[in-house]
Structure formats: structure tokens, C-alpha cells
Amino acid sequence: MSLIRELEFKELGDDRGNLVAIEANKTIPFPIKRVYYIYGSSPEVERGFHAHKTLQQIAVSVAGSCTMLLDDGHKKEEVLMDSPNKGTLIEPLVWHEMRDFTEDCVLLVLASDHYDESDYIRDYDDFLKQVSQ
């Protein structure tokens, strides 16, 4: 089974431009409690390097692109984040890393809960121990 679960959001548009609507519990599988975005990263910057114990997230590249690595402790898969109408689900206990940012990349993230530092697993060896239990 693939680690990558992409969600495709309906694009609405005409000669005025495009619109994508994302709705909690409809187009994404959880209520949205936090929204943040990453921008201004240069191509040599790498981000992420953590997993969450319970948090679910959807990442959408609303502009530009980056590469996301997903790792469940048994297999690793990469996905190119380059479409404003596609999101990638990041499940709990999936290590994720982002790199190869284009200078115009804006990575929007929708999270199922508020920020909680105790939900983060920031050490890869600790992550591997948690997923092997």
C-alpha cells in the first residue's frame, strides 16, 4: 500500500481565473484546527524532519513546488508537490521531509489540531522505535 494519499480538489474557474475550495469534513477527512504555510525557502533548504503522534495534515503547494518524502519506518516514498488543486495527506506516525523548494513555493498545511509540541517526534531513532511497537 502506498504512503502517498493524494486528494484532488475541484477546480472552478473561467476567464477571470481559478478557485479551489477546501472544506473540513468534506474535501478533507478531518476538522481544520490550524492552518499555516511555508514560503521564502530557497532550493537548498530542507524542512520537516519530524513525525506526529496523532496529528493529521494535508499539504498543498498553492504556488511553485517542492518534494516531500514520506516514511512510515518501513518504506519511503517521494511526491512532487506542484499543484494547487491536489493535497497530500500526512498521517500520524509518518516521518516527513520537504526539500527542492522553488523560490516561489508556498506550501499550505491544514492540520487536524492546534500546535502541540508534545505531539512531535523530532528524533528519527525515536520515531523508528515508536513505529516498531
**SS3 of residue 131 by DSSP:** helix
| Max Cα–Cα distance, the chain, nearest Å | 54
Give the whole-angstrom CA distance, residue 57 versus residue 89: 6
Residue 50 among the catalytic residues: yes
**Contact (Cβ atoms closer than 8 angstroms) between residue 36 and residue 43:** no
Q: Which residues are catalytic?
A: 50
